[in-house]
Amino acid sequence: MANVNDSLIINGKKIKNRITMAPTVKFDFAGEDGKVTEKHISHYTERAEGGVGLICVEATAVTPEGRFAKNHMGLWDESQTEGHRAITDACHKNDVVVIIQLNHTGITGNPMFGTPVGPSSVPTRDGKMSKEMSRDEIHAMQESFISAAVRAKEAGYDGIQLHGCHGYLINQFVSPKTNLRTDEYGMNKALFGKEIIQGIRKKCGSDFIISVRTPGAEPDVQHAVDVAREYVEAGCDYLQVSHGIDSFQVKLKGESEPYSDLCALGVNFKAVSGLKVPVSCVGGLLTPELIKYIVEKDLADTVDLARGMLADPQLPNATLDGSSYVKCFECKACQYGPGTGHSCPAEHKRKNI
């Protein structure tokens, strides 16, 4: 039986326990230049001090057009690299392995950056049509991901995570709803991400962690497993499982289970995939009791915390040693979301105790 205090080796890097921080975007922290700010540094330093074993820094754009908005952090330019060193230094000082999530919004892109692009021409969120990428454009986009990974390594990150979930570009290539192509990138839905992994491995070396945040069911479990298997064969070391475009149409959780439908995607994935890499789950893991339940029953190799660690960075320590923490209030709309000014009530309570 595993324990939350047990260490784990991922591609030669020792993760000191089974608790990880999920990538959660700080929408109001960055400026239009996409550079790391003091707000980012303070945020990740505080969470590195909270006992977590691995931090995955928030979704970071690989091109200016691939941002959520103008205040979205990026790694599309060499000038953005230096600021990230403060984040990686803070994590390493606290014996925390740190990776960064690389992303492009694809067809969900903000219209302020031009016509959204994707694997096929399909309706966008504003009712218009996305632009289908040519092969040359696909290869240029793959190089953008690879170059961003090289910058991440230069900044001291132990690895990267490709954002292959939540309806963004890599996920769009996987989903038959958004990938209608008849060429090799349509016939093999994993190919776009697979070639990025191969390129990163070639440029960043054998000891660089490559993770993918991948759907647990897209459009069904078997397709999701088949895609992830290709990622692993290409060099992926770690799968952090979340939802895709169609994932919640697949019900995987028994009524008696204490975890969420989102968490069930990762639990089921680990149970059925048979892939020889660590698998994480995420979603509603807000208490030490539930975190321990997932790990001790071997339902996932690591437990990915999001809102719980936004509310109180000490949640990992509370899980590991029984110390106190402030629980997430489970606001209907997370107060760390865009335009909220980060008015998290749990954070206010914690700082005023």
pLDDT at 341: 78
352 versus 325: the higher-pLDDT residue is 325
Q: Is residue 1 part of a domain?
A: no
d(C-alpha 108, C-alpha 85), whole Å: 30
CATH of the domain at 337: 3.20.20.70
Q: Are 213 and 240 within 8 A, CB to CB?
A: yes
Run of H or E including 39: helix 38-48
Domain count, the chain: 1
Q: Is residue 2 part of a domain?
A: no
Q: Is residue 96 part of a domain?
A: yes
Q: What is the pLDDT of residues 328-342, one digit of tens each?
A: 999 998 988 887 878
| Global model pTM greater than 0.75 | yes
Q: Are 63 and 114 within 8 A, CB to CB?
A: no
pLDDT at 251: 79
Run of H or E including 128: none
| Residue 266 domain boundaries | 8-352
Q: Is residue 267 part of a domain?
A: yes
pLDDT at 64: 97
| Mode of pairing for the β-strands spanning 131-132 and 302-305 | unpaired
- Amino acid of residue 273: S
d(C-alpha 116, C-alpha 109), whole Å: 5
Q: Is residue 196 part of a domain?
A: yes
| Mode of pairing for the β-strands spanning 13-15 and 8-10 | antiparallel
Picking from 311, 162, 181, the residue whose alpha carbon sits closest to that of residue 230 is 162
Q: Is residue 3 part of a domain?
A: no
pLDDT at 263: 97
Tell me what the pLDDT averaged over the chain comes to. 96
d(C-alpha 131, C-alpha 236), whole Å: 29
Q: What is the pLDDT of residues 205-242, one digit of tens each?
A: 999 999 999 999 999 999 999 999 999 999 999 999 99
pLDDT at 179: 98
Q: What is the pLDDT of residues 242-268, one digit of tens each?
A: 999 987 777 788 889 999 999 999 999
